[in-house]
Amino acid sequence: MLTIELFFEQSLNGLQQGVMLFLMAAGLTLVFGIMHLINLAHGSLYMIGAYVAASVTQASDSFTLGILAALVAAGLTGMLLEFSALRRLYNRDHLDQVLATFGMILFFNELVKILWGPQALFLSTPEFLSGTLEFIPGAPYPSYRLFIIGAGLVVALLLRHLIIHTRVGMLIRAGATHREMVGALGVNIDELYTIVFGLGAMLAGLAGALAGPMLAVEVGMGEKILILTFVVIIIGGIGSVRGALVGALLVGMVDTYGRAFLPTIMRELLDPASADTVAASMSSVAIYVLMAVVLIWKPRGLFQAYGS
């Protein structure tokens, strides 16, 4: 039965999933748009964020400290990764980048297994967010998910401010379209790239740390979200942070509505047994259908990055 309350609750779920995807997609799309680098290891930074947050929260009993530690760890790992390895890949073709960064996924998965062991880690919901809020009558909503929505929207606003109103943001925009010119004007491009990469890594780490209390903190957790993240940046337009936000919300909504309402709709049309199977299959392809439709309509995604 579809009630207004249920629809509203599912919309919140879609929004929350979208916000989570945005945190991942923002970093990935910046790196792709500015350095022209396909970074499959972005999910590994998400995993590192979750693991560090879980360890630090467990040791210190403070979720805030856990998140800060995750930001620092993911940011530093990202910058180190850029400085030591990825820097050499900017001028290579995409296939080399995919191969190298895929290798890094394997490397990080094994590293995490060596450091933390193969079993999933525990990360509890902070006490003040562990309850539910019943602002939709009859449908108490987990406070933690509301917190994620809030945190994600704040990050989106901060990023917007950073890119539009600050010097670094201006360089990022300039670097995306005219990188030789920016270099010729005396800007240290290498340094800029390292900073951008670190920023993207921090966002991925933040997403991992925020996901930790809801999800299994386990080896390989990054790959599961990575595919959706790529769908998001392709829909949004590669290199555009605004596109990443719109794309993430679209994907989050379509995926959630698909899973929430397709079974009910299918049950009206088919017998229950096949309805469940058909609905499950249809909802898992829904976002790819969305991607195909967007690409037919706008082959370069919804938003093109900075006039390129």
Crossing angle for the helix pair 4-35 and 189-211, nearest 10 degrees? Answer: 160
In terms of CB distance, is 103 or 272 closer to another protein? 272
Check: CB of residue 29 under 8 Å from CB of residue 172: no
Of 41-49, 78-86, 114-122, 157-165, the segment contacting another protein by CB under 8 A is: 114-122
CA 272 to chain CA centroid, nearest Å? 35
Structural tokens at position 280: 């499950």
- The footprint of another protein on this chain (CB under 8 A) covers a number of residues equal to 54
Selected from 29, 57, 109, 229, the binder of another protein by CB under 8 A is 109
Q: Is 132 in the site for another protein (CB under 8 A)?
A: yes
Structural tokens at position 270: 């088919």
Q: Smallest distance, Å, CB 77 to another protein?
A: 20
Distance, in Å, from the CA atom of 92 to the CA atom of 99, rounded to the nearest integer, reads: 11
Selected from 140, 170, 265, 295, the binder of another protein by CB under 8 A is 140
In terms of CB distance, is 3 or 64 closer to another protein? 3
Selected from 47, 53, 56, 219, the binder of another protein by CB under 8 A is 219
Selected from 22, 108, 144, 197, the binder of another protein by CB under 8 A is 144
Q: List the x/- string, 41-80, binding to another protein by CB under 8 A.
A: ----------------------------------------
Of 16-24, 174-182, 191-199, 289-297, the segment contacting another protein by CB under 8 A is: 16-24
Selected from 173, 179, 242, 259, the binder of another protein by CB under 8 A is 259
Structural tokens at position 291: 């991607």
3-class state of residue 142 by DSSP: strand
Structural tokens at position 239: 């290199």
Residues 6+ apart with CB under 8 A from 25: 229, 232, 233, 236, 244, 247, 248
Residue by residue, DSSP assigns 195-254 as HHHHHHHHHHHHHHHHHTTTS-B-TTHHHHHHHHHHHHHHHH-TT-HHHHHHHHHHHHHH
Q: Is 277 in the site for another protein (CB under 8 A)?
A: yes
Structural tokens at position 94: 């995409």
Which parts of this chain interact with another protein (CB under 8 A)?
1, 3, 5-6, 9-10, 13-14, 16-17, 20, 109-110, 113, 118-122, 124-125, 130-132, 139-140, 142, 144-145, 211, 213-221, 224-225, 256-257, 259-260, 263, 272, 276-277, 279-281, 283-284
